[in-house]
Amino acid sequence: MGTDTEFTAKATRHWTKEREAKITGGKDWLIRPSESAPVLRAVGLLNADASMSADAVRKFSQINHMLTLLRPVLEDLVARHQQVRVVDACCGTSYLSLLLAWLLRHKWHKDAQIIGIDANAKVIATSQQRAVALGLGDMLRFTAARVGDRPWHDIYGALFPVASDGEISAAPRPHLVISLHACDTATDHAMAFAVHAKADAMAFAPCCHAELARKWKDLAESKTLHPFSPIFQTPNIRRETAAHFTDTMRMLLLRSRGYEVTATEFVPAAHTVKNRLLLCQRRGQYLKSAGVEFSEMKAALLNTGIILEDLLK
């Protein structure tokens, strides 16, 4: 605690209003180095002298842009629930889940149960150590598993056994499921996990849309004739076009399962090309028209679909 206090004091001295304004652009960001120094240090965004490298500034900006888009959802959850439940699917190094836990405790003074899931046992162990070191171990817990291998109620019951009171099948649903840059079909598995858990809200930033592009490549190699053949046969255009169709198909499938879905850019394209954020709110209104649109789109693409269709069955 003493070390955190000393580092916080150092960061407060270093990050003057003028210096902080240079990296925030004067925006009212949720995470600020002058206020969140310990967690920013823990995830490697602040140096030992409390300064921030150019690469760290870029990552810091990306995270805050994401949090800005999530802010209305987060503030709504904070206002409506005594305890907020969040899942970070394919959490990787857990930047987002650690920062969310920090915000919920130190900014909103809210109780929470946050679960990070990732197949990499090494990064999961590191993330858990960081959570404990930051005094967040009671509300932020991790499990090493592939998303979708275990259902929500199983994971929740194992990590928060007292909260679930032994009734694993009756585990309360998550309020928010997030997945930032889960590679290729890992995003689909995160989506299916969230839908089956009946999550109130979801946020996905997809990455590496390879599944549909691979199927189109097979069509190109088989010399199958189609109005899109020039796209199928051109690798760069094929990858980009497949990414757009993949996310459109995902939107349609999620709408058919009762979610309102919007797509937006969460960071300027200059920062990263992986900048699409799909925001989903559970409304309970299953749009049959969206299911029809998905089927028609799939048929128009020579029956090349995405794995999410099967995962949602």
Q: Are 90 and 179 in contact (CB under 8 A)?
A: yes
**Among 233, 253, 99, 83, which Cα is nearest to 162's?**
83
Q: Is the dihedral of CA 2, 110, 205, 69 positive or negative?
A: negative
| Regions of the chain short of the pLDDT cut 50 | 1-2, 168, 271-272
- pLDDT at 1 (0 to 100): 43
Whether 204 contacts 190, CB under 8 Å: yes
Task: Output the pLDDT for position 251.
Answer: 98
Residue 95 forms part of a structural domain: no
- For 284, the domain range is 209-313
Looking at the domain assignment, is residue 54 inside a domain? no
Cβ atoms of residues 42 and 130 within 8 Å: yes
Q: Examine residue 98 and state whether it is found in any structural domain, yes or no.
A: no
Instruction: Please indicate, yes or no, if residue 310 is contained in any of the structural domains.
Output: yes
Q: Is residue 8 part of a domain?
A: no
For residue 235, what pLDDT is reported?
Answer: 96
**Is 74 a domain residue?**
no
Q: Are 277 and 69 in contact (CB under 8 A)?
A: yes
What pLDDT score was predicted for residue 275? 79
pLDDT value for 304: 97
Q: Is the dihedral of CA 97, 101, 104, 106 positive or negative?
A: negative
Please give the pLDDT value at position 2: 46
| 39 contacts: CB under 8 Å, gap ≥ 6 | 98, 99, 102, 134
Predicted confidence at residue 273, as pLDDT, reads: 53
pLDDT in tens, 169-184: 567 999 999 998 888 8
Q: In what order do the strands lie in the sheet with 111-118?
A: 140-144, 111-118, 83-89, 176-183, 201-207, 276-282, 259-265
Give the chain's domain count: 1
Residue 61 lies in a domain: no
The two three-digit tokens of residue 205, written as one number: 């930033």
pLDDT attached to residue 76: 96
| Residue 252 included in any domain | yes
Nearest to 93 by CA among 59, 120, 61: 120
